[in-house]
Chain A
Amino acid sequence: MILGKTIKYARKFVQIMSYAHPEVLVDTEWISQNPPNENRKLVEVDYDPVNGYQKGHIKGASLIWWKRDINDPVTRDIISKKEFEALMIKNGITADTEVILYGDFNNWFAAFVFWVFKIYGHENLKIMNGGRKKWELESKDYTTDEPQFSSVNYIAQPPDEGLRAYLFDVSRSLGKEDSVLVDVRSPAEFTGQITAPPEYPMEHAQRGGHIPDANNIPWATAVNDADGTFKTVDELKQNYEPKGVTPDKDVICYCRIGERSSHSWFVLKYLLGYPRVRNYDGSWTEWGNMIGNPVEK
């Protein structure tokens, strides 16, 4: 029994260490043995905190609500550097803090927040592999107690725009051999059969389909269905390379609102180590609403 568990853990360790940047992942077991402290903060990132964090979260975790905390409240954009600094201070995070993110919806929004943290230069940053899904599958404990933090200071870096693709970047990439677009939505969204699932009536676009020549590689193909953890390096390579998504290209990922694509951005940049990957957070709700934009079905 003990030997079996040791072998299982050793296999997991080997798998994580084979990623290009193994330092960006921790597993649920490690979290349960290494709770947050002064230098390590655990942050739950939710799309739906009412049905997530507020019902129960990992002890010591604070909340980043994707809609309220990481997006500008008026303009469609991520928060400014100043707002990011205020968010860090509110969560007791300094520039040196080790931050571990996890969340609902298969870590989609945790990956988006990871991307924003990287835009503002936070270095010591990780994702808990499998997110809430795996934690719950393992019947690990939740609490409803919210942590209190002592006063801290945070100075962010100027935004790293090299991680972000804008509409004009996508337009300019069309037809270029050294660029590749990865549409990580479901096949039904890619073909224009639907513009958004009925659960998200606020996220539709005027046109269905995809950006010309984009490759449909749904985000879910990068994870193990059973527990939401990432697939092995070999499996991930097999997922992207045969479709022309190779490390020598300028890769742009997109989805509907930019959160699932940040999950694939994370996979390509940190697990496979692709040097040039950007997330197009405008995604289909921008592209599919713009007059005159070319659309393929």
Chain B
Amino acid sequence: MLLDLPVLQKGSFYFIKDGKTDLILEDNTKRGLEIKETSLDETLNVQADKGMIHDMDGIGHWVVIRWYFSKDSFELSQVVIHAEALEEKYTKLRELTCPDDGD
């Protein structure tokens, strides 16, 4: 079970979990989304669980729920770089939509 895997690192918007053969990067904002397919994410060139989110117009967009970085090819430090990029993207979005009252 993915839920039971040890967490190696976490941010506000991600978890990196220790799988048997993969380092698994999970996007927390996609929690609960149904996995519709597992296929190559061409941006990061690794296998990924993908789901679909419908926008205001009802159009479905494929989104990645989690990425599987093979331990044979990736170190934790390399996965953290992708995780932090994710964190930065969502932090900026949050600032845009819900800016901190204290600022």
Contacts and interface: CB of A to CB of B under 8 A. Distances in A.
A68 B57 contact: yes
A202 B30 CA distance: 14
B53 A199 contact: yes
Interface stretch (A32-40, A45-53, A263-271): A45-53
Contacts, number: 41
B39 to A, nearest CB: 16
Nearest to A52: B60
A36 to B, nearest CB: 25
Contacts of A30: none
Interface in A173-207: 197-202
B37 interface: no
B53 A66 contact: no
Nearest to B53: A199
A-side interface mostly: loop
A67 interface: yes
B54 interface: yes
Contact of A198 (B33, B59, B60): B33
Contacts of B53: 198-201
Interface string A196-240: 011111100000000000000000000000000000000000000
A51 to B, nearest CB: 5
Contact of B52 (A49, A68, A199): A199
Contacts of B30: 198
B20 to A, nearest CB: 27
Contacts of A65: 58
Nearest to A51: B60
Contacts of B57: 67-68
Nearest to B62: A51
B84 interface: no
Nearest to B58: A47
A243 B58 CA distance: 33
A202 B59 CA distance: 12
B33, B34, B56, B58: most-surrounded residue (chain A CB, <10 A): B58
Contacts of A51: 52, 59-60
B6 to A, nearest CB: 25
Interface of A: 46-51, 65-68, 197-202
Closest 6 A-B residue pairs measured CB to CB? Answer: A47-B58, A198-B32, A198-B33, A48-B60, A67-B58, A50-B59
Given A51-B52, A200-B54, 10 more contacts: A49-B59, A50-B60, A51-B59, A67-B56, A67-B57, A197-B32, A198-B32, A198-B34, A198-B51, A202-B56
25 contacts: A46-B58, A47-B58, A48-B54, A49-B59, A50-B60, A65-B58, A67-B56, A67-B57, A197-B34, A198-B30, A198-B31, A198-B32, A198-B33, A198-B34, A198-B51, A198-B53, A199-B33, A199-B34, A199-B51, A199-B52, A199-B53, A200-B53, A200-B54, A202-B55, A202-B56
Interface of B: 30-34, 51-60
